[in-house]
A = this chain, B = another copy of it.
Amino acid sequence: MEELKVNLGDRSYPIFIGAGLLEDRGLMRKVFRGEDLLLVSNETVAPLYMDRLENALGAGRVERCVLPDGEQHKTWENARKILDLLAEGRFHRDAVVVALGGGVVGDIAGFAAACYQRGIAFVQVPTTLLAQVDSSVGGKTGVNHPQGKNLLGAFHQPRYVVADISTLKTLNAREYRAGLAEVIKYGLIYDADFFDYLEKNLGALLEQQESALEKTIRRCCEIKAEIVAEDEREQGKRALLNFGHSFGHAIETALGYGVWLHGEAVAAGMVLASRLSVLMGWLDAADLRRVTKLLESASLPTRAPDVEPARIMEIMRMDKKVLQGNLRLILLQSIGQAIISDDYAQESLAEVLGAA
């Protein structure tokens, strides 16, 4: 088992990564200490892992909340359903919400934990690759609004993250590959050596070889923990993690949530952002080809879906990263080196989108 820490002063917490952690009673007794628990999951994950998790927990009151599966269910109304269970179950301030599932479950359960009695503890037990490398770490919680993804939410750090890589075996291939988009993102924005490693080991990752998987997830969590520790509330550097996401969110919103998976939209978004970086003269065309090739090898989309470019532009303007009307994007100076910039030509952005 790998263990690392997110350093946030009195809100610091450990991340555990390894195979079979869900059944590791010793670990579970460390994470949970007899508090009242509400386990939140979805209809896909609950039948696979909820009993297993509950068995490892030992004594203590445990209740369950099973939501429908899918991004379209990450709503204000469903957050309220979790809150109703907490309130009607008379859960106290010292209770813990446990998010067992992917990014959607983690985001909505974390948001409910943030709102209940102005914030109670929660533990992330991510069961998708995307959640294990990205969404379960860093305290961003929230729900979607028809006007934009994650428009409503809170910063609320988990107390623990328990990433059991064995759960990835039941993940369908499409979701698994979508998670690889976020993995590749870390190489692109932060670590050229890790990008090289991914180019060499993509085969092993696609086969879910345990050592490659554990090493990869650890490195992603390390990078994320480092960035979040420096800039918890995204005043600056943390925005680098949004590489590909302005384009990606716009694609998801334009298509309607759930048509493309988040990671698929981010993959296409990373190519669009890389292409814009090339047009600005920052990124080598050869590096753009490496980006495209690696994503293609993971069977991820490398172009936007068939949507009116003007619609994508409009949604991007609404994006949270728009400050005083200027659209800031994350762009690449090279593989492993990202910057936050609003210093690009509008025509280049239009060209990238129009060409999409």
Residues on A facing B (Cβ under 8 Å): 76, 80, 83-84, 87-88, 90, 92-94, 114-119, 140, 142, 145-148, 150-155, 233, 317-318, 320, 322-325
Contacts and interface: CB of A to CB of B under 8 A. Distances in A.
B153 A115 contact: yes
A90 B94 CA distance: 37
Nearest to A321: B93
Residue from A87, A115, A142, A154 with most neighbouring chain B CB atoms (10 Å): A115
Given A118-B140, A147-B88, A324 B94 contact: yes
In the complex this chain forms, how many copies of it are found? 2
A170 to B, nearest CB: 31
Contacts of A94: 323-324
5 contacts: A83-B152, A84-B145, A87-B145, A115-B154, A118-B153
Main secondary structure on A side of the interface with B: mixed
Nearest to A116: B152
A339 B341 CA distance: 53
A116 B318 CA distance: 13
A54 to B, nearest CB: 22
A135 to B, nearest CB: 14
Given A87-B145, A93-B323, A115-B153, 5 more contacts: A87-B147, A87-B148, A92-B320, A116-B151, A119-B154
A88 B318 CA distance: 10
Contacts of A155: 118-119
Contact of A118 (B88, B90, B154, B318): B154
Contacts of A152: 83, 87, 115-117
Contacts of A151: 83, 87, 116-117
Contacts of A318: 90
A278 to B, nearest CB: 29
A119 B325 CA distance: 18
A55 B151 CA distance: 31
A318 B95 CA distance: 13
A159 to B, nearest CB: 15
A38 to B, nearest CB: 14
A116 B154 CA distance: 8
B93 A320 contact: yes
Nearest to A324: B94
A92 B316 CA distance: 12
